[in-house]
Structure 1
Amino acid sequence: MARQVTYVYKKQRKTIQFSFNEYHDMYEAAAAAEGIDLTSFLAMEKQLAMSCRGQGIMKNHRKTEFTNMGFGEIKFVRDEEK
């Protein structure tokens, strides 16, 4: 079953196809669709993972950074939303 991700980028809603074979998560898929290089972001995220306990810090960091990049409302599309 194909999955879709919907997000808002610079005030424009977009929907893309998503596969766990190609992307680690929906944030990486959205960034790839917009041509954004996540190399430095992923390096910082790796450092945070090594130095912090708990997922709350990681989740907050990811959400904050993607908001700063211009993204919003990144989520999977449910079947009833189509």
Structure 2
Amino acid sequence: MAFRIRYHYRKQQKEIGYANDKHHSIYDAIATAEGLDLAEFRCMEDQLANISRNNRKTMKEFREEYFRKLGVTQVTIFKDE
């Protein structure tokens, strides 16, 4: 099943394809499409995972806030028709 991701990056709406076998998450797909370096993000995400003991809500909020600071907003995933 194919999916699409619609998001705003630097106040410009964009849309890309998404497949679970190619990307770890929708944020990985966006970072790849925009050429964003996620080395710092991965390091902080690992540290947070160790501290929060994989609390999903905390991890999700961290991810969303980090990408918001990079300029990625209004992330929506939907089924490709």
TM-score (norm 2): 0.89
DSSP-derived class of the 2:22 partner: coil
Tell me the percent identity: 38
Question: For residues 16-43 of structure 1, what are the alpha-carbon distances to aligned partners after superposition, in whole Å with 9 as ceiling and x for unaligned?
Answer: 0111111011111011100001111011
Please name the residue that 1:60 is paired with: 61
Q: Which of structure 1's runs of 4+ aligned residues deviate more than 6 A? A: none
Where do 5+ consecutive residues of structure 1 fail to align? none
Where do 5+ consecutive residues of structure 2 fail to align? none
Please name the residue that 1:41 is paired with: 41
**C-alpha distance in 2, partners of 1:8/1:66?**
11
**C-alpha distance in 2, partners of 1:24/1:8?**
20
TM-score (norm 1): 0.88
Indicate conservation of the 8 Å contact 1:26/1:75, yes or no: no
**C-alpha distance in 1, partners of 2:17/2:56?**
26
